[in-house]
């Protein structure tokens, strides 16, 4: 059986009546079906009660990117600038889901907004507009950029920790990545360890220390170029292998029946 991998959804308005919909980009579905070799399941932004109901049925979890920012009330930050998109239904779903997934050892891969959620869920804080800070780069690409290769192309290098797991996957200490975010890590959560940095010092990759399962976050979008970029593909293959290992483990009820039979 292929592992069941949950994909976090945002709440977005669709149609002429702006009807709220729960949505995730097709790129996440395709990468789960592809190098992660799993079965994708979209997780609605249904609130805190989702975590205990859905986690026992999942073998992995992808936290997706999004245009919306994590609500600053979750990390005691200042109010967002007027017009900044928020998705508090998603926040209410993903933050407890992250903590529960880590505690249960469910493999977790957090991408862009997902990495920001991971940091906040574990007690870290965020800068809301990195480009406004002295000495920092503009990490955003305009969402209305009409040329896909410009919008999702490589934007800057990331320096990888020489003894880190990402360095092991990449086989080198520096990799080029795309960049489509305004928010970024301000204070790193105590349980997180940085595995990569942008030229301006922005944390670009993390892992959860002493997590019982795979628990990584990347600030860029490897789902955009895994078909052409070997490093992006290896990230999803490593995640998929962790998900497959969890799916193959004996279930508690099955294990108990085996012990009784013996």
Q: Which of 139, 167, 181, 221 is catalytic?
A: 221
Is residue 221 part of the annotated active site? The answer reads yes
Helix, strand, coil distribution of the chain in percent, nearest 5: 35, 25, 40
Q: Which of 9, 139, 204, 223 is catalytic?
A: 223
Distance CA 65, CA 46 (A): 18
Is residue 74 part of the annotated active site? The answer reads no
Is residue 243 part of the annotated active site? The answer reads no
Q: Hey, which residues does 158 pair with through a beta bridge? A: 175
- Residue ranges in the chain assigned as alpha helix (H): 26-33, 50-54, 88-104, 113-121, 148-151, 165-170, 230-248, 252-261
Q: Which of 9, 112, 139, 204 is catalytic?
A: 112
CA 185 to chain centre: 13
Distance CA 225, CA 207 (A): 22
List residues with catalytic annotation: 112, 221, 223
């Amino acid at each position: 059986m292929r592992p069941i991998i949950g994909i976090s959804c945002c709440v977005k308005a669709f149609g002429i009546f702006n009807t709220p919909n729960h949505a995730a980009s097709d790129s996440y579905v395709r990468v789960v079906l592809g190098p992660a070799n799993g079965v994708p399941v979209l997780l609605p932004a249904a609130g805190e009660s989702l975590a205990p109901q859905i986690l026992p049925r999942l073998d992995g979890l992808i936290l997706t990117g999004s245009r919306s920012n994590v609500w600053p009330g979750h990390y005691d930050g200042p109010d967002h600038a007027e017009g900044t998109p928020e998705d508090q239904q998603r926040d209410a779903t993903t933050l407890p889901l992250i903590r529960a997934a880590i505690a249960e050892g469910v493999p977790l891969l957090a991408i862009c907004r997902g990495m920001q959620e991971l940091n906040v869920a574990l007690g870290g804080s965020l800068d809301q507009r990195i480009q406004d800070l002295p000495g920092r780069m503009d990490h955003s690409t305009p969402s209305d950029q009409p040329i896909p290769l410009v919008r999702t192309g490589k934007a800057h290098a990331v320096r990888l920790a020489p003894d880190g797991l990402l360095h092991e996957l990449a086989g080198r200490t520096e990799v080029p990545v795309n960049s489509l975010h305004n928010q970024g890590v301000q204070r790193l959560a105590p349980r997180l360890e940085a595995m990569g940095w942008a030229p301006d010092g922005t944390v670009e990759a993390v892992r959860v220390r002493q997590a019982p399962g795979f628990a990584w976050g990347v600030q860029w979008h490897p789902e955009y170029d895994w078909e052409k970029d070997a490093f992006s593909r290896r990230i999803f293959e490593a995640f998929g292998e962790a998900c497959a290992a969890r799916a193959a483990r004996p279930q508690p009820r099955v294990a108990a029946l085996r012990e009784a039979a013996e």
